[in-house]
Structures are given as structure tokens and as C-alpha cells.
Amino acid sequence: ALHAAIFRALAQAPLLSAGEILISDARHHEALSRCRDGLARAREALASGASEEMPLVDLYAALKCLGEITGEVGLDEIYDRIFSTFCIGK
């Protein structure tokens, strides 16, 4: 009964407006802010006509920030997996 009452109360009074996200962990908030900034820098680099390689640094930084939250493996681990199964240059 308590479970149902909580769900009814939440359904009647949304905590957030449409499009808003609640981030309750300060570390996650900081990581997401750094990710957003990296994506913005990458977008600006592409819009200014920079070669595709230039925004990769910012995209990698954004990816790394998300990995801090999700616990995903880093790019080095991904490269290790790829190069351990493929023989590049043959």
C-alpha cells in the first residue's frame, strides 16, 4: 500500500518540468558539466572548419567524463582489445 501511495503521489506532482534532469551527485554534476563543455568545444571546432581530427581531443575528454560516471573502460582499454584481435597492417 505504501509503495502504491508513493507512486500515486509522484505521478500527480512531477518533480521536474519537461526537459529537466535531476542530478543528485555533485561528482556526476561536475563530470557532466565537463562533458558538455568538451562537446561544445568540439562543435565549435567543426563549425569553424577545423579538420575532423581537431575536435577529437575534446570528444575524447567528453567520453572520459561520461566514463567517470558509468565506470566504462577507457579508450586505451578499447584499443588494447581491438589490437589484440586484429592485426593491423597485414
User: Mean pLDDT per segment of 10 residues, for the chain of length 90 residues?
Assistant: 79 67 82 92 92 87 87 65 61
pLDDT of residue 65: 87
Q: What are phi and psi of 33, to 5 degrees?
A: -65, -45
pLDDT of residue 49: 92
pLDDT of residue 68: 82
Other CB atoms closer than 10 Å to residue 64's CB: what's the count? 16
Residue with grid cell 593491423, as numbered in its chain: 88
CA distance 33 to 57: 16
pLDDT of residue 9: 73
pLDDT of residue 33: 92
pTM: 0.58
pLDDT of residue 54: 84
Query: How would you write 62-75 as a 3-class SS string?
Result: HHHHHHHHHCCCCH
CA 33 vs CA 28, 49, 61, 65, 69: distances in Å? 8, 25, 12, 9, 12
